[in-house]
Amino acid sequence: MSNLDQSVVEGFGQEWSKFDHSATIPPELEVIFGDYFSLFPWESLPTGAVGFDLGCGSGRWARFVAPQVGHLHCIDPSAAALQVARRNLSGFQNCEFHCASVDSIPLPDGSADFGYSLGVLHHVPDTQAGIQQCVRKLKPGAPFLIYLYYAFDNRPWWFRLLWRISDLLRLMVSKLPFRVKYLFCDVLALTVYWPLARLARTLEKLGMDVSHLPLTAYRNRSFYSMRTDALDRFGTRLEQRFTREQIRQMMEQAGLEQIRFSKTIFWCAMGRRRRIGES
């Protein structure tokens, strides 16, 4: 059985066609990229490093990775998403595009100097198998960066309760026709994301700790980002969430070691493929 959900693939193809990030403020994306890749060991990559972006979407992260490596394989199961990525990355000659799912990555095993998959593998039926497929493509010792939705394991009970309520809304919204879903999520971004994010920014300027407030991560982000993520969050039928310990266990079972977690992105983690002969 293929490790993908066709409705999710179609949904993200529509999402990236609407929000192609060609108009997103570059400094904003660069800051977010820096947060995700703060764990990534750029200095240890070999000259002309070859790696992959699994679930590249619109290519919003590849645009920052491509200038720093020799060759980047951009992989996504959505032909519509790859069309957007090709357009956004047209200025880079070292990007190669593949329409493929995580269980059919078109690279030889043990061939990649690095890999990353951000915000993707929680949207496939078998996340553990997806991580294993990615790690299989890495050379021994090569780094792999991953971001998975967290299970609010570091949040108070009331925060988790709010999420459970919002998840019921997601289950309903994600089944709507795309046009209706798109409009609903825009309204959600305007009436929920924007007010809460701006409230957090105001309180922070007043010297208050806003780290535990809902949607505080958006306090310095554009409305475009809020619209994108509202559609991503509430428009996707298949969503899985994991605790930090669950992610660590999946990474270790997939053959990764030296695992480290971000202190600001929950949960973004980096590990290296275990070298041959190591237990």
Would you list the DSSP string of 43-69? GGSPTT-EEEEET-TTSTTHHHHGGGS
Look at the block and give the residue holding tokens 């078998």. 126
Question: Per the confidence metrics, is the pTM higher than 0.85?
Answer: yes
For 1-10, 60-69, 125-134, 253-262, which range has the lowest pLDDT when averaged over its residues?
Answer: 1-10
* Residue 5, pLDDT score: 83
Check whether 57 has a pLDDT greater than 90: yes
Instruction: Please give the average per-residue pLDDT across 132-148, as a whole number.
Output: 98
For the chain, the C-alpha Rg in angstroms (whole number) is 18
* Residue 123, pLDDT score: 95
Instruction: Tokens for 190, please give them.
Output: 């305007």
Query: Chain-wide mean pLDDT for the chain?
Result: 94
* SS3 annotation, 241-264: CECHHHHHHHHHHCCEEEEEECCC
Instruction: Please give the average per-residue pLDDT across 182-210, as a whole number.
Output: 96
What is the Cα–Cα distance from 56 to 58, expressed in whole angstroms? Answer: 6
What is the Cα–Cα distance from 150 to 167, expressed in whole angstroms? Answer: 13
Give the CATH H-level superfamily of domain 6-151+241-273: Vaccinia Virus protein VP39 (3.40.50.150)
pLDDT band, residue 1 (cuts 50/70/90): low
Look at the block and give the residue holding tokens 């971004």. 189
- Give the list of residues 6+ apart from residue 195 with CB closer than 8 angstroms, or none: none
Check whether 25 has a pLDDT greater than 80: no
* Residue 28, pLDDT score: 87
pLDDT tens for 96-118 read 999 999 999 999 999 999 999 99
Check whether 143 has a pLDDT greater than 70: yes
Higher pLDDT, 219 or 276: 219
> What are the beta bridge partners of residue 191?
none
* Residue 7, pLDDT score: 87
